[in-house]
Chains A and B, each alone.
Chain A
Amino acid sequence: MSGLSSMITSGNGAGLIWIMIIIPVILAFLTLIIPKTAYIGRAIALLVGVIFNFIAAIAVFSTQEITMLLPWANFEMNLAFRIYNFSGFIVLAISVFALLIAIYSVAFMRNKNESGQVFFFYLLTVALANGAVLANNFVIMLFFWEALLVTLFGFLIINQKKNVKTAVKALVLSGTADLLLMLGIALTVYQAGTLSMDAIVDLPISGIGVAGYICLMLGAIGKAGSMPFHSWIPDAANDAPLPFMPLLPGSMEKLLGIYLLVRVSYNFYNLQPETGVSIAVMTIGAVTIILAVAMALIQKDMKRLLAYHAISQVGYMILGIGTALPVGLIGGLYHMINNALYKSCLFLTAGSIEHRTGTTDLRKIGGLAKVMPVTAVCFIIAALSIAGVPPFNGFFSKELIFDAALESGWIFYAAALLGAFMTAASFLKMGHAAFFGKENAPADAVKKESPPAMQLPMIILAAGCIIFGVCNFIPVKLIFQPMFADIVGSHNFAGWPHSATLVLISCIVLLIAVLNHIYGVKKTGQGLGAVDHIHYAPVLHSIYNGAEKRYFDPYEWLMIVVKIYAYISFGIDRAINWIYDVLLVKIVSFVSARLRMANNGSPARYMVWSFSGVAFIVVLFIALM
């Protein structure tokens, strides 16, 4: 109540922040109100929202630093926002992906009943993500960040009126991560004595700081979809409406999660190389890379395969950032934006195939390059990027991360290389199976290229993969290095990688992947079987079997623990209830039965009762006197 009118801002254009949050929310409700028959109205509302957001984001990115403080609730829970180069860049990146995927979705969702709900959650997600990135107060950040759970849950129940297991799984896993974030914020705020994010600088990671850092870090990587918070993503690939995968696990969640991880590790806390915490973070990254990509290798469905890559790639970013070296930080950020480009492009190509053939099951499709040339070319560019082939963008960012990993320990470098091998192998398999070989498609498939509105976003994203690779000075030297000038110093990581040896090793790994592919195709006679010799190798076979049966799914483990725990506590509860319902009743009836026996109606007995009572009182009085 106090001070509602006193808004403190510095710099111009604080209104931008409101535009980025409120306009999408208003348009979101508009899409919900517009009836199904007026699809064009829904589409316009969505497009207006994302275009407006894009323009505002450009304005945000090009302004100087702006801070805004609007006193709101007590205990320093102020509506505080801050635009500066890092948050401005993330907001811009989100708006670009939101715009491109929206154009694509408008074409894709036509004639689908759920379009209103999809667009509603789409715009809401954009607004909340903007708020989470721009917030300069921990509570406000958490407010927007956790509210994304609602849209996540909403997206996942739209298609699944009958089977909502994935939505529950996503909400439980992400909710756990967010609650850890809440705890981390509480511990951090306790140490720093303020909720204002820009006032928390370089806390030491020691004592309670270790707990604070780890909780914040887990919250951040949980949003990014790292292990152990990952297992809903492959399930969502099959169950969610199409725009969901490129928008959230494909790009936005990575941007948000890595944004927070970087801020936690380099702003709020001071992560030092070769400390236990740094090694822990790198280990999470390395494990995520290998396990997720190993699962991707054997998938037979395009979207599910890509979903595992969405998990695996975040491992590279965490590994790079976890090294706490300048090269790792820049590599991780660069990989974040590269991954968003090629991963959303890949999801869109899979959607393009689904649009025309009605399936993304690699066993049912094949040789589509002829009928869908644009989709095929975009896929190939994005696949080469994710596989780390020069001169596409993924190559350069991976090299930076390799560099950082090797400096931090050869085991991390080896893990990253193994991941690179499996990434390349799985994309050779998927590309081969979907676009080359014998032509194959379901009988009801429409054998032509997707409409231009779906082609355009794919082409732009694929072009982005090339530009950010060939002209890597744009993201590295012009954007990321100035943001972290105090950490990077005079280093320059743009241009061709410094170490020729590392590049050579990477190329050898790629070559091995190609040879492996040729061997596998020869052996089974089809592109889809290219990695069967790995899948069905003696020991791996049983491990893969277990993994496919979800024996290693942390969510399943959590649910087992929860179930056992629930039965134990239910037992405790019933035992306590037994005391009330049975034991007490028994005691009372036992005692009253005894008392009843004493009152048997005999006058003599009552006389004895009376006299002994009087005698007792008399004795008591005498004793007291």
Chain B
Amino acid sequence: MDPPPNPNPNPTDAEPQAEAGARLAALSLRGGRDLPPDFEIHEHHLDDDDDDDEGYLTAASRGGSSTCAWKGLRDDDRDGDDVSPPSPSSSGYAGERGSSLDDDPDPEPAQDWPRDKKHLDEDDASSSWRKRKKHFFILSNSGKPIYSRYGDEHKLAGFSATLQAIISFVENSGDHIKFVRSGKHQIVFLVKGPIYLVCISCTEESYEGLRGQLELMYGQLLLILTKSVNRCFEKNPKFDMAPLLGGTDAVFLSLIHAFSWNPATFLHAYTCLPLAQSTRQAASAVLQDIADSGVLFALLMCEHKVISLVGAQKATLHPDDILLLANFILSSESFRTSESFSPICLPRYNPMAFLYAYVHFFDEHTYVTLLTTRSDAFYDLKDSRTRIQNVLLKSNVLTEVQRSLHESALHVEDLPIDPSSQSASQPQSSRDMSSQSLSSEMAIGGPAGLWHFIYKSVYLDQYVSSEFPSSISNRKQQKRLYKAYQKFYASMHDKATGPHKTQFRRDEDYVLFCWITQDFELYAAFNPLADKSQAIKMCNRVCQWVRDLENEIFVYGGSALSWQYHHCWEGE
């Protein structure tokens, strides 16, 4: 356990960014040699291409006939350099509500985004299609296309057959294909019985990261259809599954979009809306009442954040199921129009069976989901919802939720000064340095150059992340940081070389620091010139801060929750 060399021993020296980048250091307290190859080479290309992985910029800059149907504006809204945090309401949904007027002769094309984003006119012969940076495909083991992120599935039959041929060629020799690398491209395969999932990407994401995304795509498919769809293939190997997913393009698109902004997609944890303990307790109490009266799970959520959730005895809800359920609900406009009752499957709970979901939006952001096994429970659940609504109104929960949505976020600038660190015996020079960086970095983040952090509580399966500071204000920068976190996560959890306890990495964009204990995982991003010992100190303070706030930022008493970490679907 050699102490790692400090890559930048004198951080007060202003040095050119390029030089700092060249001095990239990827370190682990367990020894740098153990690191996966991913982290030993600096393959962080920081050009505009990064943002292009959605393919939107390519399309916009081409501006040809295929792109005139959709508005660049809408694209900006969804994935451009939008300062506002990503949410389903930024995916064209607001436009829809605005235009729901009588006899509007020129409706906003915003409503069309799922189809437009898909670029139905494209196929594998189109150069625009081939230039897209990240493709997702779902196909059957007979090679029939089921889903494609871009282009018309029907026109991609030949391409699907090729993918199927590659998979079965390897399988015929008694092996399984995991991925293929070709130049900048990586093709990742995931076989789930008769259903094949493939990602073709040149976004430099790790194999583990992409495979995790395919797992979630499969989970989303199961949420809509359950695993019993496999039986259709047993009866008829040439079964055409695509029609069964009719009308769900928006669900998959929204999930793919989440891969680049929602840390829950790789942390396998959910996040809560910060609320005063008493407010959350009021919500939890009424949900618990409902759960005791025969509801399997009751979830109160605000966008992707959990306000409260309870489950019936012994029923456990996996964070991935929460993610997929919220994605399904938030990406389907249908749920917002009225009360809905729909069969859905929670793949981690029981991939074979449908549950029935009663969904009701109290306001634009806040909604309750009641899950039951009874198909005739609608009127009971409707009554339960009325009871919940009454309590929420009486105890002001909905108002508090609105307030929290706009105010209660964690800002690194608010990280409290730890009094103990002031009195701690440390070299005078270091203290000076600390105060110096405190003053100079305040403008662009928290103390000691702290820009952002994600803290995951291992036992609670919950995470909390800070708001982005002004230095990471646009979507492109935020996406890049999440990708860096994602890579970091994969390397920390690498089964071959890890798991690691800490990792400190500096490149021209940030200093990234990760610290994993048996209780928590902390991922933090600092200004690229941040001092290492200061950074570590800040991380301690973040942990203390999170612990101080834990009653407001986490949901407790979740005996209903699975406290076990499952990495992927077993038994495939």
Task: Determine if chain A interacts with chain B.
Answer: no
Q: Which residues of A contact B (CB under 8 A)?
A: none
